[in-house]
Chains A and B, each alone.
Chain A
Amino acid sequence: MAWEENKHIIMECVSCGLCQSNCPIYKQTNLESNSAKGKMTILFALLQGMLEWDEVAERMYECTTCKNCEATCLSGLDIAAVIEAAREELVKRGYGHTVSGELAKNIRGTRNPFGEDPKERERLKRLAEA
């Protein structure tokens, strides 16, 4: 789905803030920009040309996509889908998460996300079996 197709979901957010009551990230930081309401406001500003992609990247990665916000959303919006679409667009534009990039590189190089030597895995496996 093209990124712009999420616009109607972003527009449907009425900024009521009910999403804040059970967002695990918001509960930790109490920053409005960490809640779904804040993220939809940020993405709306992006769509309106008031923010650039590099300015929104950090907040888009600060989401567990647990969908707790959807459970309390007055409009029943699939916020997690919007966040994932935004992340996809961020990656396309070269703003992938540094940790994700490292994990991908490790998987390509060593077939595991930790960058460990595959032989070490075999050794540990044998040890466990023994």
Chain B
Amino acid sequence: MLRISSEEQIPVTPRGGGASFQGSSLPVRGGLILDLSRMNRIIEISDEDMVAVVQPGVRYETFEHELEKRGLTFPHDVGSHDSATIGGMIASDSNGHHAYKHGRVGPWIQGLEVVLLDGTVLKLGTRSPRYNMGYNLSALIAGSQGTLGIVTEAILKVDPKMPTSASIGAFFQNLDDLMAASHAIHMSGVEAGTLEATDGYTVSTISDVMGLGFPSCEGNFVADVEGFDEENLQAKLSILKRILEEHGGEEVIIAQDDETRKKLWAPRLDIDIAVMKLQPGSREIGFAASDPCVPLSKMAEAIREIGRIIRSYDLIVAVFCHTGIGIIHPAVIIDPENEDHWVALKKAEREVLEYVTSIGGVITAEHGFGYVKNNYVKEAVGAVKLELDRRIKGIFDPNGILNPGKMALDTEERDAGVKYTFPAYVSDQDMEGR
């Protein structure tokens, strides 16, 4: 199919769970959608080799449940849960909720089977834990968003599942204190799974909507921690609690049961839905400034400033972030049938990304470029890297048929010639002079 598509120049857009936030799996140039969700077999889980061999359509949580039965884990619990496929996670080089501890998905790939456009099958790596054999093409495929080849099988590293875990959180009147606490936890040697924060607007909104009784604050903080037994877990929790209180954390909550954990994580996990309930007809929009990353020392300032910029355009935004790895997510809710909201969103997006770059940050660190960021790619990576990226793309896909229109590999425009879902949408061309 790929060989014929290439010869006939028919665009092919690979798709896993379709949970991308940047339109990575949308066929913006038409052609074929290659839905890989039916290639959903877990071929093997090897306790001895500590690997799993899976097809790309395996759903994340389905995979994780099978691993848990054997005391194992693939600890990349992405926000899209069971709608994410392993293929999509590889193509996006995903960050899970616990990326602070476990990093991105890419380094967990031990081997790949990739079908190239001429129909040949590229085999990378083995089930051996390490290899160092020339260019690391697995790392290149990870995050390539289906623009280079089709992953048809993956050998993934798996880890032992720690038997106990808990979440701990606190409320802060000052985001600088919150970030100082997060840094102190990082330096303490207690290996937390994740360090997260949400801004005061998010906390008060979710508290009101869900009736959680949270105190007024400038931000709340949540960490996950695991232990090899209950005593080990309690020792870690005790250190985290002390650090939070020493830095001004109020009303420390420790959650070991599902109900308390859900409450503690609500500002982080339920906020976009809560805000949409408050504004019927509104939607969260996957815009270009949804996942910037800034130096850790600039986090408190950036959380405040990004929220301020977006609100200055009269838009609703909930800001949450991964304090351990510098990533900030402003979740913007707009009425997509209101032209003024689209104009405001695009202006705010530009201002946020210029601000992020000015303090030494990067415009995307989690969701990738997709097509939503096409117009920012050259500024972000520079002309030299973009040209190299395009030459690499040309080696794998000389006719440019694999997932065209993405990552600025063939255009720096994102909405030219695209049929808009919402008539009120304002294209980049129509933004000129506004």
CB–CB B273/A75 < 8 A: yes
Partner of A15, one of B18, B40, B59, B273: B18
B83 close to A14 (CB less than 8 A): no
Size category of the binding interface on chain B: 20 to 34
- A7 close to B (CB within 8 Å): yes
Question: Given the complex of chains A and B, what is the CA–CA distance between A12 and B278 in angstroms?
Answer: 11
Min distance, Cβ B169 to any Cβ of chain A, angstroms: 21
* Number of residues from A at the complex interface, CB < 8 A: 20
- A50 vs B283: C-alpha distance in the bound complex, in angstroms? 19
Give CA–CA (A7, B35) in the complex, Å: 28
Q: Which of B116-135 contact A (CB under 8 A)?
A: none
Q: Is the CB of A30 within 8 A of B61?
A: no
User: In angstroms, how far is the closest chain B Cβ from the Cβ of A30?
Assistant: 5
Query: Would A48 and B83 be within 8 Å (CB), given that A21-B59, A30-B38 are in contact?
Result: no
B171 to A: closest C-beta gap in Å: 25
A80 at the interface (CB under 8 A from B): no
Closest to B274 in A: A75
A25 contacts partner chain B, Cβ-Cβ < 8 Å: no
Interfacial residues of chain B within 256-287, with CB under 8 A of chain A in the complex: 272-273, 276-277, 280-284
Task: Give chain A residues whose Cβ lies under 8 Å from the Cβ of B421.
Answer: 44, 48, 50
| Chain A nearest CB, measured from B405 CB (Å) | 19
Question: Binary interface profile of B, 160-187, with partner A (CB < 8 Å = 1, else 0)?
Answer: 0000000000000000000000000000
| Chain B residues within an 8 Å CB radius of A15 | 18-19
How many contacts A-B (CB < 8 Å)? 60
Contact in complex: A17, B80 (CB < 8 Å): yes
Question: Contacting A32 at CB < 8 Å: which of B35, B40, B280?
Answer: B35
Q: Which residues of B contact A48 (CB under 8 A)?
A: 421-423
- Whole-angstrom CA separation of A21 from B61 in the bound complex: 9
Where the two chains meet, the residues of B that have a C-beta atom closer than 8 Å to any C-beta of A are 17-19, 35, 37-38, 40, 57, 59, 61-62, 80-83, 272-273, 276-277, 280-284, 421-423
Q: Could you give 19 example pairs across A and B, Cβ below 8 Å? A: A7-B281, A8-B280, A11-B281, A11-B282, A11-B283, A16-B80, A16-B81, A17-B80, A17-B83, A18-B82, A18-B83, A20-B17, A21-B82, A21-B83, A30-B40, A32-B37, A74-B273, A75-B273, A75-B277
